[in-house]
A and B are shown apart, each in its own frame.
Chain A
Amino acid sequence: MLKQIEGSQAVAEAVAMCRPEVIAAYPITPQTHIVEGLAAMVREGKVGTCQYINVESEFAALSAAIGASAAGARTYTATSSQGLLFMAEAVYNASGLGLPIVMTIGNRAIGAPINIWNDHSDSMSMANSGWLQLFAETNQEAVDLHIQAFRLAEQLSVPVMVCVDGFILTHAYERVDIPDPDQVDRFLPGFEPVQVLDPDDPISMGAMVGPEAFMEVRYLAHHKQMQALEAIPALAADFAESFGRESGGLIAPYRTEGAETVVLALGSVNGTLKDAVDEMRADGQSVGAIKIVSFRPFPLAQLREALAGAKRVVVVEKDLALGLGGIVASNVRMALRGLATPVYTVIAGLGGRSITKRSLTRVIAAATTDTLEDPHFLDLDWQAVDSELARWKERRRAGPIAENLLREMGLVGHRPHGTEGPTS
């Protein structure tokens, strides 16, 4: 059914249709609307016998989810940013135990400075935790990926993060085709756990494992990710057949036929990127785009094949590996290892900075002439940065960085800390 609906509410409705039995969540912006919606639906009796646990922290949220999943319940939670970091220990624990929990990440920057807006630093910090990570481009895809995520998680007995850009998607009202509950029931069978805490068949879960078997346990977790490389496209095909629309998969190329320059991105920025590609194509430029849906497992072979004809690759990413550069770009370079294809990194949209079509077009154009520096920081205010760097040189007690920058940019009234003379 077509609805004009907020992204979070659409996700909540999709999750409810997947019949979770236990939901444990803790409030954090911008994920809150999702779990608020679910709390209401549970209270109204719309989610069967589902139990909604109001926990005291994100660490407890995922911990309760671990207990519930180990007891054989279909389990869901959601978080963002600091919340994901606070549950980090449990993130690794859930995947180590092989529990098929589904968690929405309302993607948000990580502080300090504290910032509630969108980027991908949070999910990226847990990229190697053993969870599958699927990124949604639109709210329709967010809905569809959640339905696929439960089946994928339970099929492989591995936890899945569905990453949805905070505010840009979670708080956006747009048209979403909300599936019919019967359709979801047909697509998603009941949860048959591979291990369960059952008094009739007692098992010990979470034993201490030493050097004699730890590597094998970790390898098997990696093996599940490799299995997901096959399961994800198969599931997307099955989904398309059941629901009549394409959603998910490992990657989604856009106008890459014969493209000399191919731009890669995760999540909602792909919408802007497609517009930029259209504009540049109309202008006669040989440009295409590829959306990476599955960041974990990372589709190395699929990307290498999709990029076989490209002369250069531009990765637009909403994260920054401090001291290295691009996280996604590093992964893409691994996909292209042995080839001479240059990979340009564009660090963009950190902490909610808008990524405009004009700016994207500008950097892609620079890449096509191989004049783009790597990494490129999209729309960085170099004047403010240079001025702060100069201040660091001038005085030892340079003061707080974030506050100085805000003053430098004239966003707050006073001049930077320790600046002589009257304020202007």
Chain B
Amino acid sequence: MSQRVKFYQTGTFTVGNRLLDADQRTVQATRERNNSLTSGHRACQGCGEALGARYAVDAAMRAADNRLVAVNATGCLEVFSTPYPESSWQLPWLHSLFGNAPAVAAGVAAALRAKGDTRTRVLAQGGDGGTVDIGFGCLSGMFDRNDDVLYICYDNEAYMNTGVQRSARTPAAARTATTPAVGEHPGNVMGQGKNPALIAMAHEIPYVATASVADLHDLEAKVTRAMGMGGARYIHIHVPCPLGWGSRPCDTIMLARLAVESGLFPLYEAEHGEVVDVTPIRRRVPVEDYLRPQKRFAHLFRGEGQAETLAAIQATADRNIRRFGLVPEEVS
């Protein structure tokens, strides 16, 4: 297509779908769509994980020509999709344990290789707890061996399934059931946590990407790109959780977008340990815009507020922006 003028949806900076080439458009409802995670599941209203999984798995299915096996870690996604005797999964799907999805997927991939099945692909998925905490050893092992598995982490920044406890992805100062908003430094401790996308890159695996439900088109493109490669691949998707974050279900996409636009959740792609592309921030917002609508950060804005904490969170965002060159004019 030769169209050069971009029209964006009002206030969103999302490019109009109709202006894209047909093969690049995001198609939400079509008879060809597999609906791998089909309707009727029991996710909460406004669940970012259900949305992210629906788009990610369908994109992977399309790329695999509908020959995909999914392995799921224990967690919200597993529980809301398969309460016995129902299942929302329209593809071969296996749930084993909380901390072993990468190893189980490696086993599936090995079985397919042993059987000479070169067409069927393997997807593993889990939440942030299952991925970066209890399943991290198995994930690192899968990266180390470069197993032919695409691992997708849906990051809602705490253990939501068990009632919102802190994980290694819980952001600084966030209130959870185990980091209560009391005391001198309320909420999650500053200076803790880990960054699995960067750790994945340190394994020098073929592909690592971060994505957000705020930009489903980008999410699908990254999944499609990953599926075009072999070996261990990792995509980390930011998925707001209204229940755990204390936000309105209708604000899920807005919050995901503010996380990106504030610089707290940078979107980038890396190959073999090197960043190859970043999504620039078109309209930068202060972290306060992202934090304020969420009850888990309410203590930062109560009474005298927590100016120091807010400044530290802003510094984290600023560092991300510098580190990944998210605001082009600030780099040059």
Contact = CB atoms under 8 A, between A and B. Distances in A.
Interface of A: 21-22, 24, 48-51, 53-57, 59-61, 63-73, 75, 89-90, 93, 97, 197-199, 201-210, 212-213
Given A24-B110, A207-B82, 10 more contacts: A51-B113, A59-B99, A60-B103, A61-B103, A64-B107, A67-B96, A202-B91, A203-B93, A204-B87, A204-B89
A93 B73 CA distance: 13
Interface string B100-117: 100111111111111110
A68 B108 contact: yes
A75 to B, nearest CB: 7
Contacts of B108: 67-68, 70-71, 197
17 contacts: A22-B114, A24-B103, A51-B110, A60-B141, A63-B103, A64-B104, A66-B104, A66-B107, A67-B96, A67-B111, A68-B114, A70-B107, A71-B112, A72-B111, A73-B114, A199-B66, A206-B82
Contacts of B66: 199
B107 A68 contact: yes
A64 B103 contact: yes
A64 B84 contact: no
Interface in B62-120: 66-69, 71-72, 78-79, 82-85, 87, 89-97, 99-100, 103-116, 120
Contact of B91 (A53, A59, A199): A199
Contacts of B111: 21-22, 51, 67-69, 71-73, 75
B84 A210 contact: yes
B179 interface: no
Interface residues of B, number: 45
Contact of A208 (B78, B107, B144): B78
A58 to B, nearest CB: 11
A55 B94 contact: no
Nearest to B94: A205
A67 B105 CA distance: 6
B79 to A, nearest CB: 6
Interface in B110-149: 110-116, 120, 137-138, 140-141, 144-145
B110 to A, nearest CB: 4
Contacts of A67: 71, 94, 96, 103-111
Contacts of A198: 92
Contacts of A197: 69, 92-94, 108
Those 3 A-B pairs whose CB atoms lie nearest each other, nearest first: A67-B107, A56-B141, A206-B95
Given A21-B114, A22-B107, A55-B103, A66 B96 contact: yes
A51 B113 CA distance: 8
Contact of B106 (A59, A64, A202, A206): A64
A271 to B, nearest CB: 37
B100 A208 contact: no
Contacts of B71: 67
Given A204-B93, A205-B95, A72 B115 contact: yes
Interface of B: 66-69, 71-72, 78-79, 82-85, 87, 89-97, 99-100, 103-116, 120, 137-138, 140-141, 144-145
A380 B100 CA distance: 42
Contact of A97 (B93, B96, B103): B96
Contacts of B78: 208
Contacts of A69: 107, 111
Contacts of A212: 84
A63 B100 contact: yes
B94 A22 contact: no
A90 B138 contact: no
A8 B141 CA distance: 26
Contacts of A24: 103, 106-107, 110
Given A199-B120, A208-B82, A208-B84, A65 B96 contact: no
Nearest to A50: B114
Q: Which has the most chain A C-beta neighbours within 10 Å: B109, B110, B113?
A: B110
Contact of B140 (A56, A65, A72): A56
A98 to B, nearest CB: 13
Contacts of A204: 82, 87, 89, 93-95
B38 to A, nearest CB: 11
Contacts of B113: 49, 51
A197 B71 CA distance: 10
Nearest to B116: A49
A318 B146 CA distance: 42
Contacts of B114: 21-22, 48-51, 68, 73
Contacts of A73: 110-111, 114-115
Nearest to A200: B67
A51 B79 CA distance: 32
B73 to A, nearest CB: 11
Given A21-B111, A22-B114, A67-B71, A207 B103 contact: no
Contact of B96 (A72, A93, A213): A93
A198 B87 CA distance: 16
A296 B90 CA distance: 37
B94 A70 contact: yes
B84 A207 contact: yes
Given A60-B100, A207-B84, A208-B78, A199 B137 contact: no
Given A55-B141, A57-B141, A65 B107 contact: yes
A106 B110 CA distance: 25
B203 to A, nearest CB: 12
A213 B71 CA distance: 23
Contacts of B84: 207-210, 212-213
B138 A56 contact: yes
A63 B138 contact: yes
A53 B104 contact: no
A78 to B, nearest CB: 15
